[in-house]
């Protein structure tokens, strides 16, 4: 017999991403629309352990769809990684009478959710968990897209367009480090979008002569006097890249680390819309009683996948995009 879901929790965990609020809003409003009570857990898993919660009604998410950050706050919890920490979290779930939790975050968030659900089952407690992928890194295996990526790309592009102005005036080389943890998606999208001279990503082994020096040389021979090198943080420090450029060809690059600025700001249409659809599907999946799920996108469609299987999935980095960049940056008159 299907279990009726009466009350759920929603939380955001790990690094924040623009669009998380739109996802929370969608979860809250879809739950209420389906006669399910919704409790906001503040500060992620850490908050679940501490019993840090807030009741969410439809008005509690008014005017949040346009806001960056997360109204529920976020944290990374070491204690939750261990069974005793999860038992404390389960005590909160029981006290609140939660039938399910929607966890918005990245890979670590989902692994924590699955561990919690399994531990609950061992204790005879049916607690279902649903994951919504939100990270600017776009590095979650089971989903083509993660909430926040588009906004972060646009933020980085806006910053680099500004850098381009001053680099052009001074005829300089700019080395810009973008986030992405171990993945190069952000760097590559941004690099293509700003017409970078070179983009360095962790998915491609670095050959400094081929990937940096030769590109700058070609651009110079084509008549350019300023160069934009985009470096994914997973490759290493942009300062080291800048120094190496200086040591090898004598030009004096300026280094910019965009850092956490990429995590903020009002979410773009793509992030608001995707987050809204994912939040809606997360609650609908809970009402369908189909176990632990991750809501992802595949070719623009929102899909829900078995959480255990989804966590085994790997994303193949699309090297065709790198080829696009290579082709465009090797034209005789590159953009930068």
- Contact footprint for ligand F6P (CB under 6 A): 15, 106, 135-137, 179-181, 233, 263
Other C-beta atoms within 10 Å of 318: how many? 13
Nearer to ligand F6P, 136 or 160 (CB): 136
Give the three-state DSSP class for 177.
strand
Helix, strand, coil % over all residues of the chain, rounded to 5:
45, 20, 35
Nearer to ligand F6P, 173 or 255 (CB): 255
Which member of 52, 99, 137, 211 is catalytic? 137
Separation CA 43–CA 22 (nearest Å): 17
- Least distance from ligand F6P to the Cβ atom of residue 300, Å: 23
Angle of helix 107-122 versus helix 83-96 axis, rounded to 10:
70
Nearer to ligand F6P, 52 or 233 (CB): 233
- Least distance from ligand F6P to the Cβ atom of residue 51, Å: 24
Tell me, yes or no, if 137 is annotated catalytic: yes
Nearer to ligand F6P, 158 or 248 (CB): 158
- Least distance from ligand F6P to the Cβ atom of residue 140, Å: 10
Name the CA radius of gyration of the chain, rounded.
Answer: 22
Q: How far is CA 289 from the centre of its chain?
A: 27
Nearer to ligand F6P, 160 or 173 (CB): 160
Q: For residue 198, list its beta bridge partners.
A: 229
Helices (H), 76-148: 83-96, 107-122
Nearer to ligand F6P, 135 or 154 (CB): 135
- Least distance from ligand F6P to the Cβ atom of residue 127, Å: 26
Which is nearest to 20 in space by CA: 90, 103, 82, 86? 103
Separation CA 89–CA 86 (nearest Å): 5
- Least distance from ligand F6P to the Cβ atom of residue 265, Å: 13
Q: For 199, how many CA atoms within 13 A lie in the half-sphere containing its CB?
A: 30
The total number of residues shown for the chain amounts to 336
- Least distance from ligand F6P to the Cβ atom of residue 191, Å: 16
Phi, psi of 78 (to 5 degrees): -70, -40
Separation CA 219–CA 5 (nearest Å): 61
Which residues are part of the catalytic machinery? 137
């Amino acid at each position: 017999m299907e279990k009726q879901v009466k009350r759920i929790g929603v939380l955001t965990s790990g690094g924040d991403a623009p669009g998380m609020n739109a996802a929370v809003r969608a979860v809250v409003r879809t739950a209420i629309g389906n006669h399910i009570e919704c409790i906001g857990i503040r500060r992620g898993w850490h908050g679940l352990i501490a019993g840090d919660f807030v009741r969410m009604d439809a008005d509690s998410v008014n005017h949040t769809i346009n806001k960056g950050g997360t109204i529920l706050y976020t944290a990374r919890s070491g204690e939750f990684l261990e069974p005793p920490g999860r038992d404390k979290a389960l005590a909160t779930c029981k006290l609140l009478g939660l039938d399910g939790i929607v966890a918005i975050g990245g890979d670590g968030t989902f692994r924590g959710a699955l561990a919690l659900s399994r531990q609950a089952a061992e204790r005879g407690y049916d607690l279902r968990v649903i994951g919504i992928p939100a990270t600017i890194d776009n590095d979650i295996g089971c989903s083509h897209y993660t909430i926040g990526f588009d906004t972060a790309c646009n933020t980085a592009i806006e910053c680099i367009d500004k850098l381009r102005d001053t680099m052009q005036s001074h005829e300089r080389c700019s080395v810009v480090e973008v986030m992405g943890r171990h993945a190069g998606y952000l760097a590559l999208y941004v690099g293509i979008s700003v017409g970078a001279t070179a983009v360095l990503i962790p998915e491609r082994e670095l050959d400094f002569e081929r990937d940096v020096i030769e590109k700058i040389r070609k651009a110079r021979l084509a008549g350019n006097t300023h160069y934009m090198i985009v470096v994914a943080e997973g490759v290493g420090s942009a300062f080291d890249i800048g120094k190496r450029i200086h040591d090898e060809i004598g030009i004096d690059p300026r280094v910019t680390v965009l850092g956490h600025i990429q995590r903020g700001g009002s979410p773009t249409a793509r992030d608001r819309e995707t987050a809204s659809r994912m939040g809606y599907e997360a609650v609908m999946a809970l009402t369908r009683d189909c176990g632990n799920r991750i809501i992802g996108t595949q070719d623009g469609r929102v899909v829900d996948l078995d959480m255990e299987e989804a966590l085994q999935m790997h994303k193949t980095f699309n090297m065709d995009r790198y080829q696009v960049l290579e082709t465009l940056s090797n034209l005789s008159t590159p953009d930068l």
